[in-house]
Structures are given as C-alpha cells and as structure tokens.
Structure 1
Amino acid sequence: IGKFYMGREIAHVMGYGFNGAGARWLERAEREREEKLTLMVRSLKLQPGQTVADIGCGSGVVTALLARTVGLEGRVMGVDVQLQMLARLKLRMKKFRIPNVTAVRGTQKSPKLKAGSIDLAIMVDVYHEFEFPHEMMKEIAKTLKPGGRVAFVEYRMEDPRVPILLVHKMTEKQVKKEISQKPFGLKFKQTIGVLPRQHIVIFEKPAGDKKAGDKKAESGSAGRR
C-alpha cells in the first residue's frame, strides 16, 4: 500500500475478491497440506472452555478448527473488517453446525472486543496487512485476560523457498521488534517452528504479581478483624 512501519512495507489486505475469489483461495483444499492448519491449532495447546479471537478470520477456515478445539463450553470470536467475509463465515459455521462462533466486524484500528475477555488472540497471515499496526495492537492487548496470549502466524522471510511475495512475509526478529514495544505490555513467550512455511510467534500478557495481590487481600482482611 506504499506505507511503511518500523522498517517494513505494509501489505495489501487479502480481499474477498471478485465473486469471492479471495475467499475461495483461503478455502482451497491444498491449504491443509501446505500450511498444516490442524497442526498449527494443536500446537497452541488450547483448553476446553477458553475464549479465542481469530482476528482477520476471513471465511472461517481456521475459526472452525479453533471452535472445535475449545468445545461447546468455549467461544471463538471471528473478527474481520469485510462484511462479505463475515457473511461467508456465518454460512460456513451453519453448514458445519458449529454454534460457538460469533462474527464481529472490527475496524482498521480495533477488533471491537470486550477488554479482558480473550484467552488467545490469533492472526494467521494477517498482522503484516494491518494498516495501523500500532493502534491495532494496543487494542488487541487490552482484550487479553491476564496471562492471555497472542499468536502471530507469519510466512518465514528467513526462508527464500517459501513461495510467497516478500511483502507477505515477516522475520521472527521483525515480529519481536514490533510487538515488544512498551505500550502493548506484552512479553515474548516462545516461537513454535513446527509448520513447513510459517512460524508461530507467541507473546503473553503478564498475569501480574499474584503474591502481592494475595498480601494486599490478607492485609485488608486483617484490618477488618
């Protein structure tokens, strides 16, 4: 788009496309073989009952896998800025009888989710397309519960064999540089390297000093005796 952020060019958004061509590309049968989506979701080690935000969910291919993983007691928020993608997401969830997904229309600067409500926010080949990455990440960080995680799944720029345009790739170093900024309040947790083309870079919102909180509570109790 001709815009740069922290030394990299921001890519064009993967659009719905003419007659849904963009959505169909996301849904292509070869994608599981090429990107190992099932392995990706498994590697996140989600727990039943958790709440997940699939930001930039598109037509919901990954959303469906996440929803089945957290189970009926869990919830997945499928967030996208494109109404056509969200309409296709809803149809997909209805077709496969997946009831625990909520479609949310976000904006270029916010996912429009409740603060402190998310156990995991995931962006699959999405973050590098954010037109306003700083503003968006500040808002995403707010949505996380204490101890909540955010996962960036990006094509590895370090590997020239990955058949994707450079503007749609990110190095692990670049992801860390951008997400480690103080305003976000996130800490690097790990990079998972099990996928053939992408790395999964995970940051975490610190849970806080529980011991200090316990001491404060004990102090308050002592004062009431």
Structure 2
Amino acid sequence: MVLGQQTAPVTEPSKGVYQYRKASYDGIGKTYMGREISQVMGHLGAAWLNRPEREQEERTDLLLEAINLKPTDVVADVGAGTGYFTFLMAPKVPKGKVLAVDIEPEMINDLNQTRKKTGLTNVQAVLGTITDPKLPANGVDLAILIDAYHEFSHPREMMTNIVRALRPGGRVVLVEYRAEDPNVPIKPHHKMSIAQATKEMKAVGLSLKSVYNKLPQQHVMIFQK
C-alpha cells in the first residue's frame, strides 16, 4: 500500500459536532464533546520539542517500550513535529516504516533534513491537512499521537481518517499530559483525562485497551479498532 491509495477522506463532520464560545487564554473557543480545543504550538516551538532534557523529563525510553513495536510495523507518527519520536521508532521497525505526518511545511522540511542526516530510509514525511493526515487506507498498524491530539482543530475528521487507515487490529496510541493531576505543570487545555479521551475515541469506533502510567507526567492510552 502506498500513499494515495485511499478512499475519499472525511472532510466534513455531521451537523452539531462542534460548538463555539469565547476562547479561553489557551484555547480557541471551539469545543468538541465538552472539551475546548487548545491553541497550537507550531514550528516556532521546535526547539522545545528537541530539548536535550526531554528524554529524562518525559522518559521517552519507557514510551518506546510501552508501544511494543514489531519489526514489520507501519507506524504513523501524527503531529510528528520535527520528528523527535519518529527517529527513535524507525530503527525498531527495520522491515516496516514510519510515516511522519505534520501539517506545517516547516516541520516537513525539518523531518526531511534529519532523515538525510540519519540515513534512515524507512522514514517518510507526509504533509497532511487539518482534516486529513493523508494516510493510506488499511495501511497502518499503529498511529501514535504525542501531545498532539488536543490541538487538532477538527478532531472528528482527523480521527475518522486515522481509523480508516488502520489495518484490522490496528492501534491508536494517545500520549497526553494527565489532566487528572493538578501538579503537572502544563496549561489546562494542553492536558487530557482518560475519561475524556475514551469518550472522544469511542465516537470514531475505538475502544480503550490499556493505559500505561509509568511516564512522569503523561498518560499512554492505547485504543484499538
């Protein structure tokens, strides 16, 4: 399966999916299933994504273990940014590949530059849109969204298209800062609770299978088609 071999993506939600109100200081004023969507941290925040202390602060090594990749997996890193986690996953799937999806051309440029520097041939940068990650239909074993889902301006459309890309038994991994913990020093709209995430994933046909809570500040929520 290659990019482009996909059925028509979902671009418009059913009527009434989103509501609108005055924006909070870290939100956009658009709500989905009771949650106000957060503002986006774009390419201007790239340095924060690649900060040297990130591995220790977020224990990305434990996250890599938790998702249990197989060598043949096709992984979609949706909201990949500069590809920090993309390039950690790629060596784990030597017979598969990582599709690094972002909606900002600047991030895609960063991804391609890093791919050339590392020499990893199983990484493919994909320029998506706010409604469609441009993934191949029935071509992805695992889609991972690291601190990205809460920023999606069109979460229903994006997740519907991600689910269409999953193979039978495919997984979606949401990594989000824990909204249940007031001690996690992140803006409120940039966190998510297990209950809220489960409700939103159920709306697109995904069920919560497990939660990995050994990271210092984040939930790792694993959903399945």
TM range (shorter): 0.7 to 0.9
- Name the CA distance, whole Å, in 2 between partners of 1:61 and 1:192: 20
More helix by percentage: 1
Deviation at 1:177, TM superposition (A): 0.8
- Name the CA distance, whole Å, in 1 between partners of 2:198 and 2:186: 21
Deviation at 1:8, TM superposition (A): 1.2
Q: Match of 2:43, SS? A: coil
Is 1:4 the counterpart of 2:31? The answer is yes
**Aligned match of 1:23 in 28, 46, 69?**
46
Report matched runs for 1:14-163 at 5 Å.
14-17=41-44, 22-71=45-94, 73-163=95-185
Contact persistence 2:62–2:215 (CA under 8 A): yes
Flag the structure with more relative contact order, 1 or 2, with Cα contacts below 8 A and sequence separation at least 6: 2
Is 1:203 the counterpart of 2:223? The answer is yes
- Name the CA distance, whole Å, in 1 between partners of 2:215 and 2:119: 28
Matched residue type, 1:55: V
* TM-score (structure 2 length as normaliser): 0.86
More strand by percentage: 2
Deviation at 1:93, TM superposition (A): 1.7
Q: Match of 1:59, SS? A: coil
Deviation at 1:7, TM superposition (A): 1.1
- Name the CA distance, whole Å, in 2 between partners of 1:65 and 1:172: 26
Matched residue type, 1:16: H
Structure 1 or 2, whichever has the larger Rg, is 1
Report matched runs for 1:185-196 at 5 Å.
185-196=205-216
Is 1:176 the counterpart of 2:203? The answer is no
Q: Deviations over 1:15-47 (max 9, x none)?
A: 111xxxx11110000111110112101110110
- Name the CA distance, whole Å, in 2 between partners of 1:163 and 1:143: 34
Q: Deviations over 1:128-160 (max 9, x none)?
A: 000010111110000000000000000001111
- Name the CA distance, whole Å, in 2 between partners of 1:150 and 1:201: 8
Contact persistence 2:198–2:207 (CA under 8 A): no
* Number of residue pairs matched by the alignment: 198
Q: Deviations over 1:80-112 (max 9, x none)?
A: 000000100111122222221000011101111
Matched residue type, 1:104: V
CA RMSD in angstroms comes to 0.8
Q: Deviations over 1:177-215 (max 9, x none)?
A: 11111xx2222211111111100111111xxxxxxxxxx
Consecutive unaligned residues in structure 2, runs of 5 or more = 1-27
Q: Match of 2:109, SS? A: helix
Q: Which segments of structure 1 move beyond 4 Å, counting only runs of 4 or more?
A: none
